[in-house]
Amino acid sequence: MYNLLKGKKGIIFGALDQNSIAWKVAERAHEEGAEFVLTNAPIALRMGQLNELAEKTGSQVIPADATSMEDLTSLVEKSMEILGGKLDFVLHSIGMSVNVRKGKHYTDPNYDFTTKGWDVSAVSFHKTMNVLYNKQAMNEWGSIVALTYMAAQRVFPDYNDMADNKAYLESIARSFGYFFGRDHKVRVNTISQSPTVTTAGSGVKGFDGFLAYAEKMSPLGNATALECADYTISLFSDLTKKVTLQNLFHDGGFSNMGVSDAVMERFTEE
């Protein structure tokens, strides 16, 4: 361990169970010397195992529905009280599509579900940054990261309306990131992660095929949740101070591939 986050304070959204990317980020942040508050939706706290992670990392848990300005305001206020000052890092690791959950096809969604999905998956990031920005809750040279997927740029049919939600999320990172950089010297980026076996990931139809295909296409293979956590730590550290407004692919090279030998072999078998 490198003490990369020594003395830094933050909030980590979205750890549900040991598979969650946010869970790994919390473990790694703790190892690197950070102090933080863990948060998730009240319903997820009842289902999940977040207390176990809190104990392990010496953190407190504050429930917050990331679509509620009231919950987010109270979360940020309480976190600053608990941690004794402003924040250096925030991880947004939240995604959910009701259309996916209910098996609605992309071409004929329920638009109330569509609205709920973009509120949870994208606008929640805007709301979080609204509270952090207007309460001046971030220290200078702080870092805000959200997790995204390449379906924001390219077609992955079974990703359904999450593709649109991710495009929205990435745009919010750039647009809000401008004001955060200009006014508070805070950076805002998204990490576009490989398909990863988690509760949210496995909800995507045909996920196993998806995972195997990406593995065969990527020269370095799929990035794991732990590797995603390591990359996130680097973005929270002082080693990446001038990286902002970026969508950063963390995918073993997948996003720049056309075809690989391993995939071609499948199509040239006699």
Indicate which residues carry an active-site annotation.
149, 159
Give yes or no for residue 26 binding ligand NAI (CB under 6 A). no
Residue 21 contacts by C-beta under 8 Å, 6 or more apart in sequence? 14, 93, 147, 193, 196, 198, 225, 228, 229
Q: How far apart are CA 36 and CA 59, in angstroms?
A: 6
The count of residues interacting with ligand NAI (CB under 6 A) is 27
Q: Is 21 annotated as a binding residue?
A: yes
- Exactly one of 118, 149, 159, 168 binds ligand NAI (CB under 6 A); which one? 149
**Candidate segments 52-60, 77-85, 89-97, 260-268, binder of ligand NAI by CB under 6 A:** 89-97
Closest CA to 16 of 42, 44, 35: 44
| Least Cβ distance, residue 17 to ligand NAI (angstroms) | 6
| Least Cβ distance, residue 205 to ligand NAI (angstroms) | 13
What x/- string results for residues 187 through 216 when contact with ligand NAI is judged by CB under 6 A? Answer: ------x-xx-xxxx---------------
Task: Determine the residue with CB nearest ligand NAI.
Answer: 201
Give yes or no for residue 29 binding ligand NAI (CB under 6 A). no
Residue 159 dihedral angles phi and psi, to the nearest 5° = -75, -15
Q: For every residue of 71-85, which 3-state class applies, written as one string? A: HHHHHHHHHHHHHCC
Answer whether 15's CB lies under 8 Å from 26's CB.
yes
**Candidate segments 25-33, 37-45, 51-59, 83-91, binder of ligand NAI by CB under 6 A:** 37-45
Closest CA to 148 of 179, 194, 203, 89: 194
Residue 100 dihedral angles phi and psi, to the nearest 5° = -65, -50
Give yes or no for residue 142 binding ligand NAI (CB under 6 A). no
| Least Cβ distance, residue 136 to ligand NAI (angstroms) | 23
Residue 6 CB coordination number (10 Å)? 11
Give yes or no for residue 232 binding ligand NAI (CB under 6 A). no
Q: How far apart are CA 114 and CA 137, in angstroms?
A: 31
Give yes or no for residue 40 binding ligand NAI (CB under 6 A). yes
H-helix or E-strand containing 225? helix 225-236
Per the annotation, binding residues for NAD(+) are 14, 20-21, 94, 166
Residues that bind ligand NAI (CB under 6 A): 13-14, 16, 20-22, 40-41, 44, 65-67, 93-96, 120, 147-149, 193, 195-196, 198-201
